[in-house]
Structure 1
């Protein structure tokens, strides 16, 4: 995640009833003899977990159960991420990089950010890299190329069913032959598939994984976390655009104060929203839907916070 030479001290936090399972995780880490793992702090105490940390990956969240409304889910998670935001504010390094994975990730990140008022808003993000990876994999399969040749697919908005996968600015390298570059739309040559099948496939991929394995994404989510944090801290490659849900500054007319997935580049530990991309009317209509959902979630979350 941080390159081949950066040793880490890993802090693991869980709830008290999971303390024994946490010990088992530590045993497995020890038994793996990872050369970059300097030490492990396993705890159920929030202060111990967050003290002086440089990176926080907030994976734990309360899952949506049968018959549970999204408002109910937000209420439970506000209490979790309120506590974690306060802990980050009190104990973490002032340059801590925070990645929220637990859903609803965008609004959970906003909750934590709101309670960590002494930390810069740029320190907080939510995970949409998994959605980007899913989208690029589907394009690679459709065109019949290696996924490493599929570049700059963008995920806009919320990590939810309203997310907006956008291929309009992406390209496929070494296609149709070596040293040539083709826009994704030209390579796919199927506007109907891109608009009517591809977008819903990406939006519903998480549910499809749950239906198949009866559990939510695990290995693919972990891989996306690694990619997100590596690019944030070590930087994106020249010409590479990645998707991160970050604090909106008003770009693309997205209201300020939402955690919204944008196309970004990263340099020296800082992300920057890519500017001046042309948004098609089709994508713009979908951006408005995901923005509306995030605004509604924000209002519900803030009502519980207050």
Structure 2
């Protein structure tokens, strides 16, 4: 799978966990096609999954070979954490224990703590210290917290979780309401947890309608819809997709992963931001150390939380609600770690 292009940069190593799953199936092509890290950036792909899935991974590798992508230097399938995380530059934690029927939240957290504790230790031991980490598997914020907890030698700013799917959903809803292209919607924010308590906030968002830039509130002129139905649609969109598809979001999740990593790799535009779960530094009164979704600006690979946005009482209440849930999840997860 070697590239013949002399201008291609030396390869970066990208690991995908849960690589035999449906999100990874949509994700692999986008990464290997150059959409994320650039058409001139060669890649060595590490694919991690459990032992019974190794046959499925061989089928995935056949497909990568059959697509004949020029930047793919090698694909390494493995069920071994050392092989998976060895010298990686980017780690995409897509795999997690899914919630099964009748499973209590604490049982789900306990199962995921076991996975992310083990993978955190391996990441800390084998990955590059500069590795860029994105946790996708749910509960994403708390899984990211546990992963970071067990990888103390990697800088805190290198850990993120995925709320870009919620961000994209919010943009899509505004665009659909106004009958415009989603790329004309700017600076939506997802605050908090990737759950039904998340706060999709468009109070600072702008849209371009008929060539003129205006605020979302001014363009839509329906505060009741924006504060109620819009928020509820975004919060419950994942469940609505499952109800319709009988499967969870895969194509849109993979696209959001790519958007998240591309912006982290290449930066955001001036005066524009995206939503990412990051380790809180205390901004906006959020508990320090909690993995919380904020508006994020990115320059030269460095993430920074957008500061000085004025929160009204309603926003504060919404943010406090999602923070409360995250603190409870974190505490339950830490209790689970101490019992394992």
Same fold (TM over 0.5): yes
Q: Map of 1:1-306 to 2, 5 A cutoff?
A: 1-173=36-208, 175=209, 177-178=210-211, 180-306=212-338
Distance 2:73 2:255 in 1: 21
Structure 1 residue runs of 4 or more that deviate by more than 6 Å after TM superposition: none
Deviations 1:40-78 (A, max 9, x none): 011111100100000000000001111111111000000
Give the 3-state SS of the residue equivalent to 1:83 in structure 2. helix
Distance 2:327 2:123 in 1: 24
Deviations 1:149-207 (A, max 9, x none): 0011100000000000000010002x2x22x2110111011011111100000000000
Distance 1:258 1:3 in 2: 32
Give the 3-state SS of the residue equivalent to 1:107 in structure 2. helix
Identify unmatched segments of 5+ residues in structure 1. Answer: none
RMSD of aligned Cα (Å): 0.7
Distance 1:297 1:265 in 2: 27
Distance 2:108 2:301 in 1: 32
Deviations 1:259-282 (A, max 9, x none): 000001011111000000011211
Give the 3-state SS of the residue equivalent to 2:330 in structure 1. helix
* Equivalent pair of 1:56/1:98 in contact (CA under 8 Å): yes
Distance 2:312 2:102 in 1: 37
* Equivalent pair of 1:63/1:73 in contact (CA under 8 Å): yes
* Equivalent pair of 1:143/1:188 in contact (CA under 8 Å): yes
What's the CA shift for 1:4?
Answer: 2.0
Distance 1:184 1:4 in 2: 35
Distance 1:52 1:160 in 2: 32
Deviations 1:73-117 (A, max 9, x none): 000000000011011100000100000000000000000000001
What's the CA shift for 1:305?
Answer: 1.5
Of 98-107 and 1-10, the range deviating more from structure 2: 1-10
* Equivalent pair of 1:233/1:270 in contact (CA under 8 Å): no
Number of residue pairs matched by the alignment: 303
Identify unmatched segments of 5+ residues in structure 2. Answer: 1-35
What's the CA shift for 1:232?
Answer: 0.8
